[in-house]
Amino acid sequence: MKVLVVDDDEIFLFFLSENLRNLGYEVVTAPDGEEGWDTFSTYEFPIVILDWLMPRLDGLSLCRRIRENLTQAYTYIILLTGRTEREDRIRAIEAGADDFLIKPLDPSELRARLGVARRITESEQALRDVRIMEMAVGADIQRKLLFGTPPIEVEGVEVDSMSIPSKQVAGDFLDYYPYANGILDVLIGDVMGKGVPAAMVAAGIKSAIEKSLLSMSSRSAGLPDLEGVLQETSDRVVAELISLNTYATLCYARFYGAQQKLVYVNCGHPYLIRWSALLDRCELLPASTVPLGFLEDARFPEHEIELGIGDLICLYSDGVSDIFGGPLELAEWLQPRASMPLNEIQLQLRTHARKDQLKDDATFVLTRWTGVYNSAKLMVWSEYDALQKARERIRLVAQGSYGLSDDAAGELILAVQEAGSNALRHARPGHRNLPFGYKVTNFLDCVRVELRYPGEAFLPASLNTVEPDATREGGLGLTIIARCVDEYSFSRDGDWNVVSLVKRKWKPHDHRI
């Protein structure tokens, strides 16, 4: 264990250092208070022994300075003094000294007092280790159990989320529950307090909500209503929350991609912000009830909001609104940015948040109702006229209401053709009976075509090895795809190849909808 000894008396310094080394301590010395401070602030020591009277900076002042500068670990300070007056001792304790050693030194007293110092600093260190481990466990709980990732594909709803953790573990949670028919549930919440206990309560509440969802789904055919889910959750946990003297704010929102509506229950969570694309205006959506854990007989009324094309709904934790000073200020910040692509808004928020000290976890979820104007699924067997059938059907959707321009639709169709004819060549060479599943969806900002077919895996990089004799045409097909659409991907889903082609209706830098 390292000990810093600060004394201007060279002989005494030598004598004390030797004694300490004999007791097994690693000793560093300084001849006066200022140098003592420099050494201390550079290396930090668990035990510091200071002489009271020293030139430049006396022991009492150095003691105060050490206490004023919070160090990672506790520093045990022993003051060396010839003074035995009661007032002097009180002054020293007030300055932050833990113990005294009276000059001239009695070696056995030195050993005993350092034993105390060692015991205290070691137990403090052990406690600190436990705290650090708990923090790591808490952060792990939060990351793994409390934060879901947004679904990639929900028809009609676009989602992007961001979470900036603060320095300490907190009780924030967030998850998504997508359903097959373009319905997406988003759950966001925050348990009072900080640290591992808050994260554990959050995990308990989230699990209770999921249990309620599951048990209600098993009891009835339709989707469980939000009011019912929260009522059942409250029945499960409210008594425990009250007895633990804690509570959670949460907002449970359900987006109906195909029906232009949002239903939510907000239990004391920060107000949802809705930006109306039509009016170019932000509004705060009213809360429904008190936080979970406030009242045993709370009710959870649902609010229903009709959404317009392009409307943005923002769910967030108070860590985000605190950055701006409140929900209204956050809405004001959001207003001029609301028509930007979601990831651009997130990026700007991240840049903004960095400038401020983040006191709490900042969780920010953006959902935009992109609308589905039309979509179609087409299943064809891979005789060659299948590609023509697919082209005709895709053109109908792509150029339907709010569709692509003639040129853009032509390019998308060309890319679809290349993907299909490429599949015919490589998926099952010589084997014509290949099922092709096309799905074309006309979204607010783009038209997406997905082609699925079984057979040999196709990875663009492997083209030359798959088809050595037709490299040129195959390469040409890929070039055409790359130039005709704004996004494309080739992937594998089990035994199926999945080709996704996206044609945007406007370029990404046109932020206006």
Partner 1 sequence: MTIESETLGSVVVAKVRALTLETANVGAFRSAVEPVIETSDSVILDLSEVTFMDSTGLGAMLSCLRQINGKGGSLRVCCLKPEVQRLFDLVMMDRVFDVHPSLEAALATD
Rounded CA gap, 429 and 284, in Å? Answer: 58
Q: Of 161 and 382, which has the nearer Cβ to partner 1?
A: 382
Of 292 and 481, CB closest to partner 1: 481
| Residues in binding contact with partner 1, number by CB under 8 A | 23
- Footprint on residues 469-508 left by partner 1 (CB under 8 A): 470, 472-473, 476-477, 479-480, 483-484
Taking the complex as a whole, how short is the minimal distance between the CB of residue 483 and partner 1, in angstroms?
Answer: 5
Cβ-based nearer residue to partner 1, 95 or 423? 423
Could you tell me which residues come within 8 angstroms of residue 439 by beta carbon, excluding any fewer than 6 positions away?
375, 376, 377, 378, 449, 450, 452
Q: Phi-psi bin for 139: left (phi > 0), alpha (psi -120 to 50), beta?
A: alpha
Minimum CB distance to partner 1, residue 303 (Å): 49
Min dist CB 473 to partner 1, Å, is 4
Q: Which of 410, 458, 398 is nearest to 434 (CA)?
A: 458
The tokens of 156 are what? 């009609």
**Among residues 148 and 475, whose Cβ is nearest to partner 1?**
475
CB-CB contact of 246 with 239 (8 Å): no
Distance CA 411, CA 63 (A): 76
Taking the complex as a whole, how short is the minimal distance between the CB of residue 410 and partner 1, in angstroms? Answer: 5
Q: How far is the CB of 387 from partner 1 (least distance, A)?
A: 6
- Stretch 414-473 residues interacting with partner 1 (CB under 8 A): 414, 417-418, 420-421, 424, 470, 472-473
What is the nearest approach in angstroms of partner 1 to the Cβ of residue 454? Answer: 19
Check binding of 78 to partner 1 (CB under 8 A). Answer: no
C-alpha–C-alpha distance, residues 234 and 297, integer Å: 9
At closest approach, how far in Å is the CB of 397 from partner 1? Answer: 18
359-418: contacts with partner 1 (CB under 8 A) = 384-385, 387-388, 391, 407, 410-411, 414, 417-418
Which residue's CB is nearer to partner 1, number 186 or number 387? 387
Q: What does each C-alpha distance from 191 to 161, 207, 291 come to in angstroms?
A: 19, 14, 9
Backbone φ/ψ region at 326: left (φ over 0), alpha (ψ -120 to 50), beta? left
Task: Please report, in angstroms and rounded to a whole number, the separation of the first and last CA atoms in the chain.
Answer: 66
Least distance (Å) from partner 1 to the CB of residue 506?
Answer: 19
Near partner 1 in 194-213, by CB under 8 A: none
> Which residues are 282's β-sheet partners?
275
* Nearest CB to partner 1, comparing residues 418 and 445: 418
Q: Which is nearer to partner 1, 191 or 415 (CB)?
A: 415
233/382 with CB nearer partner 1: 382
Question: What gap in Å lies between CA 513 and CA 511, rounded to an integer?
Answer: 6
From CA 211, how far away is CA 218, in angstroms rounded? 11
Provide the residue count of the chain: 513
Residue (2 or 431) nearer to partner 1, CB: 431
Tokens encoding 133: 């481990």
Any residues with CB less than 8 A from the CB of 198 and at least 6 apart, and which?
Answer: 169, 170, 171, 191, 192, 246
Shortest distance in whole angstroms from residue 378 CB to partner 1:
16
- Using CB under 8 A, which residues numbered 331 to 350 contact partner 1? none
- Contacting positions for partner 1 (CB under 8 A): 384-385, 387-388, 391, 407, 410-411, 414, 417-418, 420-421, 424, 470, 472-473, 476-477, 479-480, 483-484
